[in-house]
Structure 1
Amino acid sequence: MAASGESMSVSPNTTTASTDSHGQQPTVGSSKVTNSALEAMERRWNKIAGMESDLLVSINDVQFNVHKFPLYSKSDRLQEIAKDEPRTGRTTADLAGLPGGDRIFVQVVNYCYGFDIDVSPYNVAALRCAAEFLQMHDDSQSGMREGNLVPLTERALVKFFADWKDTISILHHCQRLMPAASDCGLVDRCMLELCKLCVPSSSSSSVLTTATDSSPSSKARPNRSATPAEGIHLSESVLSLDLDFYADLIAALRRAGMPAQEVGRSIDAYARYWIPDVSDDFEHSRRNRRIVETLVSLLPVSEGEPATIVDVFSKPDALIRLLRAAKSYDAEEECRRQLIATAGVLLDQADVEDLTHLEMHEVQALAQVHASRAGLTGSADLSPTNYQKVAKVLDEYLELACSCRSPSANPNIANNSLNWETVKSLASSVPAEARSSHDTLLRALLSFITLKKGTLSEKGLLSLFEVVDPSKLSHELTDEVATHHSLPPTFVARALIAQKDNMRKSITDLANRTKSLEEERRKLEQDKVKISKDIEHLRREVQLANDVLQQTRRSLREGTASIFEKHVVLQGRVKELSEEMAELETKNKSLKEREKEKKERGQSRSKRGSS
């Protein structure tokens, strides 16, 4: 497998001669072939052909003096467009639309003459497109060729596609070769290979709608590691792609089955790469507007009404960045509506820092989306925790917004013309029961009336404080309300009544708690007596068990002594019996000896009598 950025030196036939001492074509400069380099190459071509040139090829303002036979034998296109000039007697061909221009044509000509050429990820795309443009296929009309530039570049592509960095490098070079790179299927093939690397389970039919698998590179591929390459969609080489190429790649990755969360991460990274800071940059405003609109169009959208972006972001900060950019660069209304709809759904995951980047009416729109979602889906879809989070972040935002007296504090939320209707709308966007405490909300409203310095109407003041539940205020704030002269008397009265009710409730709770503690104390005393009895009963049982154990031990000792005594007696008796048996054996032996002697005397008498 070719390493990233590695080049291959290839030769079309048995003629192997380098174009210079370093094996590279002698080109000078970044875009044009110099006259001196061109003259040197033409002398070498004439030397190889053994004759003067008979074909003049023009590419824009550069002319090449070459020979028909080596080029015609490789290129069907060149044979078709070449024209004989009667006035000069020469044959000419115009290749103004050749992909890669004159620099790539130098390599093509060198290949046709039999010189080695270097094929790398940085020029293989141009060589492949040029070969397609010049119709340098295996099957020639003249039947005079063996091998050609199209199959040669295809073999190189197979090697380079095995490495994702090389693949992206080829894709980058395709950007400057459009539409030729797309016409020959090279763009789709690059994206297909990247999809296979990013999403190993993807198939070519699910990724691309065009029939790219019929290309030679799909017939033989080098062995790949079974482990998928991770983070390709977040690499700088992908994020630096032109917008159209990036959009096509993300669309292909989505069709290949890349998780929506990974798609969202890549889109957010692309936005940060191209629009790092949202500002009034008129020079790039049109480009940035197109970027924002395109990126939003790439996000997966839910079905039904209203359609929202789903399963992409866990927090709304990325959407809020896109929303700021959409507003700054005057993106389409549908784009902004979709961003607001989705960010509103994720409002329970936002923090106050996220909201400070938006203007007040945008935060109000997010709150309205969240409230309408609750109305559409019902309370079962949104847990009390969701409501509490939204209430908390909105209260903190209101407190911050109402305390900003000048644009220098925060240009987005500072608004001296902030009206009570907007403040009440934000405060009322979540149910009152979602707030376990109304302290932050009250502090925000107190800052607001201080900001307005008595300019609020009585109606506005009364309506504004309707959203505050005095029963959920701390004692400190309730005391502050009682002494605040700018608050509506009705609200102060409600606060005092709530304070009285809270005190009565606290006294009742204290009495109930005292009664409960007394009951618990009596229960503990009863449990203590019961435990004492149980302990005494256990103590008696333990004592009884100890007595039985001691008695058993005494019995065992006595039995052991008796057995030992019997054992001693038995040992003595065994000894006595052994002695008696020895004595008997001695007597028995003596008797036997006597009988033997008696028998021998009898035999002796018999012998004497017979004699």
Structure 2
Amino acid sequence: MWESESDSAARHKYGDGILTSNKHTVKTQGFLQRGHSWYVATDIPSDFLVQIGEANFHLHKYPLISRSGKMSRIIYESREADVNKIVMNDIPGGFEAFELAAKFCYGIAVDLTAGNISGLRCSAEYLEMTEDLEEGNLIFKTEAFLSYVVLSSWRDSIVVLKSCEKLSPWSENLQIVRRCSESIAWKACANPKGIRWSYTGRTSSKISSPRWNSNSNSNDMMKDATSPSRNQLVPPDWWFEDVSILRIDHFVRVITAIKVKGMRFELIGAAIMHYATKWLQGLVSETTITFDETSNYGISNSHSSSSGSGSNWIKGGGGGLHMIVSGGTRDETSTIQAKEQRMIIESLISIIPPQKDTVSCTFLLRLLRMAIMLKVAPALVTELEKRVGMQFEQATLSDLLIPCYNKGETMMYDVDLVLRLLEHFLVQEQTESSSPTRQSISEKHLGSNLNAKARVARLVDSYLTEVSRDRNLSLTKFQVLAEALPESARTCDDGLYRAIDSYLKAHPTLSEHERKRLCRVMDCQKLSIDACMHAAQNERLPLRVVVQVLFAEQVKISTALSNPSLKDVETFTQPMVTNRKTLLEATPQSFQEGWEAAKKDVNTLKFELESVKAKYLELQNDMENLQKQFDKMLKQKQSSAWSSGWKKLSKLTKMTNVQNHDHDTLPRSNNLASVEQNRKSTRRWRNSIS
């Protein structure tokens, strides 16, 4: 609790909140309540009835007109000769505030507190209880209590601002909201050295609000004696929980005032996240997507129920809360809750500081998911997408798996949204690198930019692997998202190859041309050894891609072997191994499990290939046996028809031998020529017969 030095003086001056009027026109001992009616305990019968809703106040005219300008005008300016009843359903604060104002008119002591001061101040303004009618009238005294007592106390300022939720627009016009917001902002931004922290045993197990006073009385000293440490430092987020109980419009006023005071944007962002976590229950729940029999997407969110506002959550059989966003009609209550949540999201987006890393990327993505689901204004959604793009490298795969809420869309996840986020990230990177202030940065910052792109590349590859299982994902959207990043962002295309292989598994009906088009997004020279081994035996890939993979691997091996020094070979292969280890460490668990499954598929394919080879050898032996049998049968058929021809051939052979013997007397050279000629003619003749 905050207390100023003038707090005790103010309470002493105003009787510790006990308010009385100076004149006593009607002697009374107080009000008596019977059911919904109030009577004045006096001997004079009442002559005036004030009706507020179901409450009836049986009063007297003179005490009211002597201090209320509105009552006086109504009674004296009425066309009726004798007005004895009035209906005032529009009085701010309701019958509770009017009861206190009526008691003040009768001179009955009224206890002013932080809970009733705002309603009494607004009702006094409504009843026109000004100084013109009586010095020290209700407006003056309630205004003094607000200024000197309430605004000097942290707790009272919070309570008054909370009570103003039902007093609009009166509380706004009377500047109660503005003054309380500025008081809270001033105390939240105060120097912690002037705050004495004390533990008061708050039930939420969180340390309580500090007290704005370096001097303490004996009671405070006894409390501090039981605390763990009197000199406990004030945590920077001490004011988060107290401010988070406010309604969203008042919370925005407080945060705006805190911004003007110059508080660090990291603390403001943390306060916004704390508020959103409390009032947007769907923000911290995990979303899972399942298919039903009608091919609609059912999105279920499980989280603990609380008193905060929520969307159209309904009880599920699993003990959690489930939210159905496809089909179905909403009742009136759900519609009102959806409007409240939409207003909260739009207000939070508008007050997030513009600096980078004000809030976490996970918070922005979950806020974006709810904004799309509740159909927040498109301009605010675009602004939120740009903020996500500023720190897109901090995102996780689970945060990017945002369901597609567009009607008529058959895809399971919103791939177009991720593409827009990636484009905002690239635009932001290009803007920072081309700005004059960024041109003089060191190489360390340039390396951080490259690391950011590498992280985004791994994130996009993992996202593509996940969404590729959706059979409604078109090839064009997959290709556009895969090619959105520059080539320098990926040092290894193993993740991209994994996504391509997953897409080919989920879409077995792709044509050869479509498969080639899909594989163009991958660079075969950036694949690791494991990926090359898998791709070389992957029957889903086009043959041309398999050849490219084998050629790229052969080039790597040739380059390594052609190096004359063993030292150079080691330096060539060592980065490859290091890159593989780094890749495996940075690869998601689902990706590594996919590689294990792929290795099992490779072993299965090897076994099937050996079986096919054995069957092929058996078929080849059977074919040779059949060929031999066929040749044998063919020779048997031709032997009878060719017997006479073979006899003629033998006679011609004998005649040729005789002629050769007669020519032996010729020179040896001539004999050799003739023998060669006869041999050729005989072979030619034999060939012609066969």
Select which of 369, 376, 382 maps to 1:337. 382
Residues 331, 96 of structure 1: alpha-carbon distance in 2 compared, 3 angstrom cutoff = closer
Deviations 1:341-377 (A, max 9, x none): 2212321111112112352222122222223434454
Alignment correspondent of 2:550: 496
**Do the aligned residues in 2 keep the contact of 1:15 with 1:114 (CA within 8 Å)?**
yes
What amino acid maps onto 2:240 in structure 1?
L
SS in 1 for 2:111: strand
Select which of 199, 203, 210 maps to 2:189. 199
Residues 73, 18 of structure 1: alpha-carbon distance in 2 compared, 3 angstrom cutoff = closer
Aligned length: 456
- 2-side partners of 1:472 and 1:437: how far apart? 5
Select which of 334, 337, 341 maps to 1:288. 341
Alignment correspondent of 1:239: 244
- 2-side partners of 1:26 and 1:440: how far apart? 79
- 1-side partners of 2:235 and 2:28: how far apart? 38
Alignment correspondent of 1:10: 18
Select which of 93, 96, 103 maps to 1:100. 93
The alignment status of 1:468 with 2:522, answered yes or no, reads yes
* Structure 1 residue 67: Cα displacement: 3.7
Deviations 1:277-314 (A, max 9, x none): 2744642333333333333233345xxxxxxxx43545
SS in 2 for 1:383: helix
**Do the aligned residues in 2 keep the contact of 1:293 with 1:331 (CA within 8 Å)?**
yes
Structure 2 gaps of 5+ residues are 5-10, 192-210, 216-232, 284-322, 404-413, 439-445, 572-690
Deviations 1:454-485 (A, max 9, x none): x2233332232233232332222212222222
* Structure 1 residue 122: Cα displacement: 1.2
The alignment status of 1:385 with 2:438, answered yes or no, reads no
Select which of 150, 168, 177 maps to 2:167. 177
Select which of 462, 467, 470 maps to 1:396. 462
What amino acid maps onto 1:12 in structure 2?
T
Deviations 1:188-212 (A, max 9, x none): 11111111122238xxxxxxxxxxx
- 2-side partners of 1:316 and 1:18: how far apart? 67
**Equivalences for 1:109-128 in 2 at 5 Å?**
109-128=102-121
- 1-side partners of 2:362 and 2:111: how far apart? 48
**Do the aligned residues in 1 keep the contact of 2:492 with 2:527 (CA within 8 Å)?**
yes
Residues 420, 62 of structure 1: alpha-carbon distance in 2 compared, 3 angstrom cutoff = closer
**Do the aligned residues in 2 keep the contact of 1:396 with 1:440 (CA within 8 Å)?**
yes
**Do the aligned residues in 2 keep the contact of 1:25 with 1:117 (CA within 8 Å)?**
no
CA RMSD of aligned residues (A): 3.8
**Do the aligned residues in 2 keep the contact of 1:85 with 1:92 (CA within 8 Å)?**
no
- 2-side partners of 1:130 and 1:228: how far apart? 39
**Equivalences for 1:144-183 in 2 at 5 Å?**
144-146=134-136, 148-183=138-173
What amino acid maps onto 2:19 in structure 1?
S
- 2-side partners of 1:175 and 1:128: how far apart? 14
- 1-side partners of 2:240 and 2:2: how far apart? 23
* Structure 1 residue 136: Cα displacement: 2.8
What amino acid maps onto 1:34 in structure 2?
H
Alignment correspondent of 1:354: 399
What amino acid maps onto 2:369 in structure 1?
R
Select which of 329, 336, 352 maps to 1:299. 352
The alignment status of 1:82 with 2:72, answered yes or no, reads no
**Do the aligned residues in 2 keep the contact of 1:260 with 1:312 (CA within 8 Å)?**
no
SS in 1 for 2:533: helix
What amino acid maps onto 2:259 in structure 1?
R
**Do the aligned residues in 1 keep the contact of 2:497 with 2:522 (CA within 8 Å)?**
yes
- 2-side partners of 1:501 and 1:314: how far apart? 48
**Do the aligned residues in 1 keep the contact of 2:237 with 2:271 (CA within 8 Å)?**
no
Residues 508, 231 of structure 1: alpha-carbon distance in 2 compared, 3 angstrom cutoff = same
**Do the aligned residues in 2 keep the contact of 1:84 with 1:90 (CA within 8 Å)?**
no
- 1-side partners of 2:431 and 2:360: how far apart? 22
What amino acid maps onto 2:363 in structure 1?
A
Residues 87, 459 of structure 1: alpha-carbon distance in 2 compared, 3 angstrom cutoff = closer
SS in 2 for 1:64: strand
SS in 2 for 1:120: coil
Structure 1 gaps of 5+ residues are 202-221, 302-309, 405-414, 518-611
Deviations 1:533-553 (A, max 9, x none): xxxxxxxxxxxxxxxxxxxxx
Scaled by the length of structure 1, what TM-score is found?
Answer: 0.65
**Do the aligned residues in 2 keep the contact of 1:129 with 1:181 (CA within 8 Å)?**
yes
**Equivalences for 1:520-599 in 2 at 5 Å?**
none
* Structure 1 residue 513: Cα displacement: 1.1
Residues 2, 313 of structure 1: alpha-carbon distance in 2 compared, 3 angstrom cutoff = closer
Select which of 501, 507, 511 maps to 1:452. 507
- 1-side partners of 2:360 and 2:170: how far apart? 42
Select which of 362, 368, 372 maps to 2:423. 368
- 1-side partners of 2:110 and 2:555: how far apart? 93
Residues 179, 25 of structure 1: alpha-carbon distance in 2 compared, 3 angstrom cutoff = farther
**Do the aligned residues in 2 keep the contact of 1:262 with 1:312 (CA within 8 Å)?**
no
Residues 98, 470 of structure 1: alpha-carbon distance in 2 compared, 3 angstrom cutoff = same
Residues 113, 230 of structure 1: alpha-carbon distance in 2 compared, 3 angstrom cutoff = farther
**Do the aligned residues in 2 keep the contact of 1:74 with 1:112 (CA within 8 Å)?**
yes
- Higher mean Cα deviation, 444-453 or 330-339? 330-339
- 2-side partners of 1:352 and 1:175: how far apart? 40
- 2-side partners of 1:388 and 1:355: how far apart? 17
- Higher mean Cα deviation, 161-170 or 501-510? 501-510
- 1-side partners of 2:33 and 2:564: how far apart? 94
Alignment correspondent of 2:253: 248
* Structure 1 residue 438: Cα displacement: 1.9
Instruction: Report sequence identity in percent.
Output: 24
Residues 2, 367 of structure 1: alpha-carbon distance in 2 compared, 3 angstrom cutoff = closer
SS in 1 for 2:281: coil
Residues 55, 323 of structure 1: alpha-carbon distance in 2 compared, 3 angstrom cutoff = same
SS in 2 for 1:121: coil
Residues 373, 421 of structure 1: alpha-carbon distance in 2 compared, 3 angstrom cutoff = farther
- 2-side partners of 1:198 and 1:313: how far apart? 18
**Do the aligned residues in 2 keep the contact of 1:195 with 1:256 (CA within 8 Å)?**
yes
What amino acid maps onto 1:183 in structure 2?
N
What amino acid maps onto 1:122 in structure 2?
G
Task: Tell which structure's C-alpha radius of gyration is larger.
Answer: 1
- 2-side partners of 1:99 and 1:186: how far apart? 14
**Do the aligned residues in 1 keep the contact of 2:114 with 2:150 (CA within 8 Å)?**
yes
What amino acid maps onto 1:491 in structure 2?
V
Select which of 266, 271, 280 maps to 2:276. 271
- 2-side partners of 1:250 and 1:340: how far apart? 22
- 2-side partners of 1:391 and 1:164: how far apart? 49
Residues 186, 509 of structure 1: alpha-carbon distance in 2 compared, 3 angstrom cutoff = farther
**Do the aligned residues in 2 keep the contact of 1:128 with 1:150 (CA within 8 Å)?**
no
- 2-side partners of 1:3 and 1:66: how far apart? 39
Alignment correspondent of 1:536: none
**Do the aligned residues in 2 keep the contact of 1:107 with 1:117 (CA within 8 Å)?**
yes
**Equivalences for 1:58-69 in 2 at 5 Å?**
58-60=51-53, 62-69=55-62
What amino acid maps onto 2:261 in structure 1?
A
- 2-side partners of 1:231 and 1:438: how far apart? 44
Scaled by the length of structure 2, what TM-score is found?
Answer: 0.58
* Structure 1 residue 259: Cα displacement: 3.3
Alignment correspondent of 1:590: none
Residues 369, 152 of structure 1: alpha-carbon distance in 2 compared, 3 angstrom cutoff = closer
* Structure 1 residue 230: Cα displacement: 4.7
